Amino acid sequence: MARHKTASPTNKELAILCILWNNGPSTVRQVNEEMNKRQRTGYTTTLKLMQIMTEKGIVVRDDSKFQHIYKPAISEEKTQNQVVGDLLEKVFSGSAEKLVMRALSAKKVSAKELSKIKKMIAKIEEK
Protein backbone atom coordinates (compact mmCIF):
# COMPACT_ATOMS: atom_id res chain seq x y z
CA MET A 1 0.00 0.00 0.00
CA ALA A 2 1.11 3.41 0.48
CA ARG A 3 0.96 5.97 -2.14
CA HIS A 4 2.15 9.39 -1.19
CA LYS A 5 4.77 11.75 -1.84
CA THR A 6 3.38 15.08 -2.61
CA ALA A 7 4.18 14.77 -6.24
CA SER A 8 2.69 17.79 -7.93
CA PRO A 9 0.42 17.13 -10.86
CA THR A 10 2.08 17.37 -14.25
CA ASN A 11 1.31 20.27 -16.53
CA LYS A 12 -1.50 18.66 -18.40
CA GLU A 13 -2.93 17.19 -15.29
CA LEU A 14 -3.02 20.63 -13.78
CA ALA A 15 -4.74 21.96 -16.85
CA ILE A 16 -7.45 19.37 -16.49
CA LEU A 17 -7.84 19.98 -12.80
CA CYS A 18 -8.33 23.67 -13.47
CA ILE A 19 -11.03 22.97 -15.98
CA LEU A 20 -12.81 20.74 -13.51
CA TRP A 21 -12.63 23.39 -10.82
CA ASN A 22 -13.94 26.08 -13.09
CA ASN A 23 -16.65 24.10 -14.83
CA GLY A 24 -17.60 21.58 -12.22
CA PRO A 25 -17.88 17.83 -12.73
CA SER A 26 -17.58 17.07 -16.44
CA THR A 27 -17.38 14.40 -19.05
CA VAL A 28 -14.23 13.79 -21.02
CA ARG A 29 -15.78 15.50 -24.00
CA GLN A 30 -16.51 18.64 -22.07
CA VAL A 31 -13.03 18.77 -20.67
CA ASN A 32 -11.56 18.11 -24.07
CA GLU A 33 -13.51 20.91 -25.67
CA GLU A 34 -12.26 23.28 -23.02
CA MET A 35 -8.71 22.09 -23.59
CA ASN A 36 -9.01 22.78 -27.27
CA LYS A 37 -9.79 26.41 -26.64
CA ARG A 38 -6.22 26.79 -25.56
CA GLN A 39 -4.41 24.11 -27.45
CA ARG A 40 -5.42 21.46 -29.90
CA THR A 41 -5.67 18.12 -28.11
CA GLY A 42 -7.11 14.86 -29.35
CA TYR A 43 -10.05 13.35 -27.56
CA THR A 44 -8.29 10.13 -26.71
CA THR A 45 -5.38 12.07 -25.36
CA THR A 46 -7.56 13.84 -22.86
CA LEU A 47 -9.31 10.60 -22.05
CA LYS A 48 -6.06 8.81 -21.35
CA LEU A 49 -4.85 11.61 -19.16
CA MET A 50 -8.02 11.49 -17.14
CA GLN A 51 -7.81 7.73 -16.79
CA ILE A 52 -4.30 8.05 -15.46
CA MET A 53 -5.41 10.76 -13.08
CA THR A 54 -8.11 8.45 -11.85
CA GLU A 55 -5.54 5.77 -11.12
CA LYS A 56 -3.42 8.27 -9.27
CA GLY A 57 -6.39 9.40 -7.27
CA ILE A 58 -6.24 12.96 -8.52
CA VAL A 59 -9.77 12.79 -9.81
CA VAL A 60 -12.66 10.47 -9.14
CA ARG A 61 -15.24 9.33 -11.59
CA ASP A 62 -18.78 8.23 -11.55
CA ASP A 63 -19.08 5.44 -14.08
CA SER A 64 -22.54 4.31 -13.18
CA LYS A 65 -23.81 5.80 -16.41
CA PHE A 66 -22.63 5.38 -19.94
CA GLN A 67 -21.00 8.74 -19.91
CA HIS A 68 -18.53 8.86 -17.08
CA ILE A 69 -18.45 12.00 -15.00
CA TYR A 70 -15.19 13.18 -13.53
CA LYS A 71 -14.54 15.49 -10.65
CA PRO A 72 -11.46 16.58 -8.73
CA ALA A 73 -10.46 14.44 -5.79
CA ILE A 74 -8.36 17.18 -4.30
CA SER A 75 -9.68 20.63 -3.53
CA GLU A 76 -8.67 23.63 -5.50
CA GLU A 77 -7.39 25.17 -2.33
CA LYS A 78 -5.18 22.29 -1.43
CA THR A 79 -3.72 21.93 -4.89
CA GLN A 80 -3.07 25.62 -5.23
CA ASN A 81 -1.36 25.68 -1.89
CA GLN A 82 0.77 22.84 -3.03
CA VAL A 83 1.90 24.29 -6.32
CA VAL A 84 2.50 27.66 -4.75
CA GLY A 85 4.45 26.00 -1.96
CA ASP A 86 6.50 24.13 -4.50
CA LEU A 87 7.33 27.23 -6.43
CA LEU A 88 8.12 29.05 -3.24
CA GLU A 89 10.74 26.54 -2.21
CA LYS A 90 12.06 25.92 -5.66
CA VAL A 91 12.51 29.43 -6.91
CA PHE A 92 12.07 31.86 -4.05
CA SER A 93 14.02 30.15 -1.29
CA GLY A 94 10.84 29.96 0.70
CA SER A 95 10.20 33.68 0.80
CA ALA A 96 6.53 34.38 0.24
CA GLU A 97 7.29 38.07 0.16
CA LYS A 98 9.47 37.73 -2.92
CA LEU A 99 6.83 35.70 -4.65
CA VAL A 100 4.15 38.25 -3.82
CA MET A 101 6.29 41.05 -5.15
CA ARG A 102 6.76 39.20 -8.39
CA ALA A 103 3.11 38.43 -8.73
CA LEU A 104 2.23 42.05 -8.23
CA SER A 105 4.69 43.21 -10.82
CA ALA A 106 3.92 40.50 -13.30
CA LYS A 107 0.32 41.44 -13.76
CA LYS A 108 -1.96 44.40 -13.37
CA VAL A 109 -4.15 44.20 -10.31
CA SER A 110 -7.31 46.22 -9.98
CA ALA A 111 -7.94 48.64 -7.14
CA LYS A 112 -10.60 46.35 -5.82
CA GLU A 113 -8.23 43.43 -5.69
CA LEU A 114 -5.57 45.54 -4.07
CA SER A 115 -7.90 46.41 -1.29
CA LYS A 116 -8.74 42.76 -0.78
CA ILE A 117 -5.06 42.05 -0.42
CA LYS A 118 -4.69 44.89 2.03
CA LYS A 119 -7.46 43.47 4.13
CA MET A 120 -5.77 40.12 4.14
CA ILE A 121 -2.54 41.70 5.27
CA ALA A 122 -4.35 43.54 8.02
CA LYS A 123 -5.84 40.31 9.17
CA ILE A 124 -2.46 38.64 9.32
CA GLU A 125 -1.01 41.56 11.21
CA GLU A 126 -3.66 41.32 13.86
CA LYS A 127 -2.32 38.04 15.05
Partner DNA sequence: CAAGAAATACGAATTTTTTCGTTGACTATA
Partner DNA sequence: TATAGTCAACGAAAAAATTCGTATTTCTTG
- The footprint of a second copy (CB under 8 A) covers 11, 14-15, 18, 22, 79-81, 83-85, 87-88, 90-111, 113-114, 116-118, 120-121, 124-125
Pairing of strands 69-72, 59-62: antiparallel
Cα–Cα distance for residue pair 82/102, rounded to 1 Å:
18
Q: Is 49 in the site for DNA (CB under 7 A)?
A: yes
E runs forming strands in the chain: 59-62, 69-72
56 binds, among DNA, a second copy, none (CB under 5 to 8 A by kind): none
Between 42 and 94, name the residue whose CB sits nearer to a second copy: 94
- Which of 22, 63, 113, 119 binds DNA (CB under 7 A)? It is 63
Of the CA atoms within 13 Å of residue 116, those in its CB half-sphere come to 5
Strand partners, 69: 62
Under the rule (CB under 7 A), what is the footprint of DNA? 7, 10-13, 27-29, 39, 41-45, 47-49, 51-52, 63, 65-68
